[in-house]
Amino acid sequence: MRELAATANTVVVEESRIKARAIGLRQEYRSLAILSGGSGGSRQQLFLDAIDEKERQAVERADDARKFIDGARSLRESTAEDIDRVQHRLANSLEVVRAMREDLDREMLAVEGQSAERRAAMEGTRLAR
C-alpha cells in the first residue's frame, strides 16, 4: 500500500512540474515568436496547443491518482487483484507523466537555445551598424 501511495503522490508531483514547465514554455514560445517576427502565427499556435494537450493529459492522470489517495482506505479492503490493477494503472500514469515532463524539458531547452540565437543575431546586427 505504501508503494501505491508513493506512486500516486509522485504522479501528482509530476503534474505540478508539468504545469510549471508548460507556463515557462508558453512564455518562451511567445518570446521566440516576437524575436522572429512570427507572433500569433499558426505555427506558434500549434506549439501552444501541443503544450495544452500535454498539460490536460497530466491533469487527467493526476486526478485519477488523487482518487486513489482519497480512497486509500477502501482499497485496503480490496482484493489483491484490485490492488494490482490500481498499482499497474498508477505505474503507467507515472511513466506517462514523467515522459511528458521530460519532453517539455527538452523542448524548453531547444526553444531557449533558439531564442538565445535570435537575440545574439539581433545584437550582432545592432553592433555592425
Q: Comparing C-alpha atoms, which of 34, 12, 2, 25 is closest to residue 93?
A: 12
Cell numbers given for 124? 550582432
Cell numbers given for 78? 480490496
pLDDT of residue 72: 67
Q: How many domains does the chain have?
A: 1
Whether 8 shows a pLDDT value over 80: the answer reads yes
What is the Cα–Cα distance from 4 to 88, expressed in whole angstroms? 9
pLDDT of residue 128: 64
> What's the CA angle centered on 33, arms 56 and 29, to 5 degrees?
30
Distance of CA 129 to the CA centre of its chain: 42
What is the pTM (predicted TM-score) of this model?
Answer: 0.83
Its domain, for residue 90, covers 2-128
- 42-69 pLDDT tens trace: 888 999 999 999 999 999 999 999 988 8
- 76-104 pLDDT tens trace: 777 888 888 889 999 999 999 999 999 99
